[in-house]
């Protein structure tokens, strides 16, 4: 599977090393510090501690002896991406300056690790396997239908009854509704490029799939929290993040996980419009 997706893995990547796990955990715990607690010094300290442990591990296992990728290098790429994202407020805004700021920061968080990995370190650690495993089967098409059905049932109840739709700006004109549509979709695509194709892929070079998936979910869910998925949102976003990692492993297809995410986000978009404009979409949702 790794060879087909282009993700290089260490020969013994399925062995769970406590030092590697601790280093990865510290780096990923910087995400809730940055995006949930919003304590920058704590996030920076966790990154520094995780990278320091990674350097210790690399010194114990010099490059080339066991042909392992450098832990410090890979965790450093994740840290760079998180630092770029943490440089801006993730409060949803739809004015031109805010959308430009989001574009530059989120785009940079994907582009900089990719460029460093590909052109500076001369590796293919970060890749974006669009087609991956080939044609989708009945299970994959069935899951797409299930995503729409589950989103229709769950998301209106979550957004409306908890009031979290107010974490997004009021959209009461065609221009603002169009901007919201573009913003929700663009962030959804970025989620998969960064959390799955970058964070998850880099962690999988050093950790078993289950551990890597759990760690990427910490980063994924923390970002979504600051973006607006608060209250009891993690009850939904934690399984979603884990499922996206699992689906990527099974399908080896960025196109598929992006499609799943965009279908889910299409329902999110409609619910936000519904929440801010009572009566506009009467009859579409149960709440």
Alpha helices in the chain (DSSP H): 2-5, 18-35, 40-60, 71-86, 96-115, 138-162, 174-191, 201-204, 209-227, 234-251, 254-276
**CA–CA gap between residue 23 and residue 59 (Å, rounded):** 14
Cα atoms in the 13 Å half-sphere on the side-chain side of 93: 13
Q: Parse the chain into domains and list their residue ranges.
A: 2-276
3-state secondary structure of 51: helix
**CA–CA gap between residue 224 and residue 214 (Å, rounded):** 15
Q: What pLDDT score was predicted for residue 15?
A: 76
pLDDT per residue as tens, the chain (287 positions) = 444 444 545 444 567 899 999 999 999 999 999 999 999 999 999 999 999 999 999 988 755 545 678 999 999 999 999 999 999 999 999 999 999 999 999 999 999 999 999 999 999 899 999 877 678 889 999 999 999 999 999 999 999 999 999 999 999 999 999 999 999 999 999 999 999 999 999 999 999 999 999 999 999 999 999 999 999 999 999 999 999 999 999 999 999 999 999 999 999 999 999 999 988 888 899 88
**CA–CA gap between residue 100 and residue 266 (Å, rounded):** 22
Q: What pLDDT score was predicted for residue 131?
A: 79
For helices 138-162 and 234-251, give the axis angle rounded to 10 degrees.
Answer: 170
Model-level pTM?
A: 0.91
3-state secondary structure of 26: helix
Q: What pLDDT score was predicted for residue 2?
A: 41
């Amino acid at each position: 599977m790794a060879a087909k997706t282009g993700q290089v893995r260490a020969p013994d990547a399925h062995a769970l090393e406590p030092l590697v796990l601790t280093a990865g955990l510290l780096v990923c715990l910087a995400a809730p510090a940055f995006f949930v607690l919003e304590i920058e010094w704590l996030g920076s300290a966790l990154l520094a501690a995780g990278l320091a442990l990674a350097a210790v591990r690399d010194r114990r296992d010099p490059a080339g002896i066991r042909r392992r990728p450098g832990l410090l290098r890979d965790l450093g790429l994740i840290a760079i991406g998180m630092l770029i994202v943490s440089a801006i407020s993730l409060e949803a805004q739809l004015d031109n300056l805010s959308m430009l700021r989001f574009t530059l920061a989120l785009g940079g968080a994907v582009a900089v690790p990719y460029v460093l990995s590909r052109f500076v370190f001369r590796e293919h650690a970060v890749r974006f396997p669009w087609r991956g495993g080939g044609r989708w089967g009945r299970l994959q098409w069935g899951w797409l239908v299930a995503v729409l059905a589950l989103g229709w049932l769950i998301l209106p109840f979550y957004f409306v009854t908890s009031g979290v739709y107010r974490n997004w700006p009021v959209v009461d004109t065609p221009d603002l509704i169009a901007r919201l549509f573009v913003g929700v979709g663009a962030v959804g695509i970025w989620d998969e490029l960064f959390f799955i194709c970058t964070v998850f892929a880099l962690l999988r070079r050093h950790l078993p799939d289950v551990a890597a998936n759990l760690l990427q979910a910490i980063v994924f869910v923390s970002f979504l929290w600051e973006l607006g998925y608060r209250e009891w949102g993690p009850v939904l976003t934690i399984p979603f993040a884990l499922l996206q990692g699992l689906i990527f492993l099974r399908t080896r297809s960025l196109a598929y996980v992006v499609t799943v995410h965009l279908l889910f986000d299409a329902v999110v978009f409609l619910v936000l419009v519904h929440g801010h404009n009572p009566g506009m979409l009467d009859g579409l949702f149960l709440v």
